[in-house]
Structure formats: C-alpha cells, structure tokens
Amino acid sequence: MRILLVLVISLVLGSCSSQVKESKIEQQRNSSGATSTVKKRVKPEFNGQYYFVQGEDGPVIVVNKKYPLSADFAPGEDPIAGVAFEDLIKDMESKGFQVSHDYSGYRSYGQQKTLYEAYVARDGQEAADRYSARPGYSEHQTGLTFDVKDVSGQLLEEKEASQWLLDHAAEYGFVVRYPKGKEEVTGYMPESWHLRYIGREAQQISSKGLTLEEYYGFEGGDYADERIFEKEK
C-alpha cells in the first residue's frame, strides 16, 4: 500500500527526483505520528544575495544557520519595518512598559564580523554560536530585524513586556524570532527581544505558535559546516 502511494506521488510529481524524495520523507513523518503542524520541507531559493521562500504577500527572506546572506548584501534598515517598529514601541510605552526608542537594528556584514569575533574572544566559539550569528548569518543584516531595549539600554527581558511582544508584536508585522523551547529549530537560545519583520502574515505565524522554520517548512538548526570558524586574516 505504502509503495503504491509513493508510486502515485511519484507519477503526480513527474520526474523531479528531489520532490519525490521530499514526499517520501513527509509520508514517513506522517506514518510515525510526528507533528502534523509542520509543513513539508521547502528549499529556499537563492538570488545571489539572499535565500527566500514565497510568503502569502511575496518573497520572505530566509536567514538562519543553514541559509546565509552574501557579504555584499547591504540593504540598510527597511523603511516600512522601521516605521512599524517605532509604532510598536510607542504602543508599548502607552501601556506603561519601560522600553527605549534606542534599539539594535540593521548591521552590515562587517559590523557583525567585528561583533561575533569579540564574543568568540570573550566566551569561546561554542558559547558565542548560541547567542550570536557568524558574519553573513545574522538576521540583522536584512534590515528587517530589531532588538528591543529597555530604558536602561539593556536588551528587553522583563517578563510582562516579553509576553506582550509574544501576544502583540504580530499586530505590527513582527514575530519573536527565537522563542523559548525552539533552540533546536532556530539554532539560537531564546531571545525575547529579537523581532523580525514579516508583514501581514506575521499574525498567522504567531497565532499558530510556530517559528519561521516550522511555518514555511525550511530547514533550521545548527550550522551545516561544523568546522571551527576561521578568522579571515
């Protein structure tokens, strides 16, 4: 029966071997009773500067430890995301949260390189890889990502404010990109302050409680290349 199903799927999909392989994987997952909320595996496309998947309203840039950005991708802060972030901060302030208008947003490849190397020098690479991206792997390089800070200038960790972000950031088009309990999927420790702009579709992603990896179905987790990052001298 199972062989027949695979055969039928193969015929439907035609000769594209990678698609057939994906269908088989999906079928195995279903038969083993694994979570059904995860979509089938999608392979993001690369346009020379970044990987992307098709979202409901257009291409969605994909960045994680499997999908890097090119070093010369330097878009600066996205103006739409910037306005949305400012609106979100104003709303939080009006609710009494101690948040700052100062934030950590766009970072170039070079800035990320400096930052990451400083963390490696301080904490060692293994620790640094859990909370900081290697150059070319930071979502901040897209100009779509913002770290919320509190009024003392620290990254926002306060419990109620963090919960507010989980509940309401999507109304402004953002997702909390590295939630608790998803380190295996996202490749990063929880970061209650790190917001990624998606747009309208953020509401669906957030209401399902899924990471971008799970919602769009692309691969996440750790770096594919396990070798120690070598500093360019």
Q: Which positions are catalytic?
A: 191
Rg (CA), the chain: 19
Q: Which is nearer to Zn ion, 147 or 150 (CB)?
A: 147
Could you tell me which of 173, 149, 151 has the C-alpha nearest to residue 162? 149
Is 194 one of the binding residues for Zn ion (CB under 5 A)? yes
Is 196 one of the binding residues for Zn ion (CB under 5 A)? no
Task: Candidates 1-9, 65-73, 94-102, 193-201: pick the segment binding Zn ion (CB under 5 A).
Answer: 193-201
Instruction: Considering only residues 19 through 58, tell me which ones interact with Zn ion, judged by CB under 5 A.
Output: none
CA distances in angstroms from 127 to 105, 188, 189, 219, listed in the order given? 22, 11, 10, 22
Is 147 one of the binding residues for Zn ion (CB under 5 A)? yes
Contact (CB, 8 A) for 43 and 18: yes
Two tokens, residue 60: 């969605």
Name the minimum Å distance from CB 174 to Zn ion.
12
Is 134 one of the binding residues for Zn ion (CB under 5 A)? no
Is 149 one of the binding residues for Zn ion (CB under 5 A)? no
Task: Candidates 19-27, 47-55, 163-171, 189-197: pick the segment binding Zn ion (CB under 5 A).
Answer: 189-197
Q: Which is nearer to Zn ion, 188 or 218 (CB)?
A: 188
What does residue 13 show for φ and ψ, rounded to 5 degrees? -80, -10
Q: Which is nearer to Zn ion, 147 or 219 (CB)?
A: 147
Q: Which is nearer to Zn ion, 22 or 197 (CB)?
A: 197
Name the minimum Å distance from CB 74 to Zn ion.
17
- Residue whose beta carbon is closest to Zn ion: 194
Could you tell me which of 152, 174, 10 has the C-alpha nearest to residue 85? 174
Residues that bind Zn ion (CB under 5 A): 147, 194
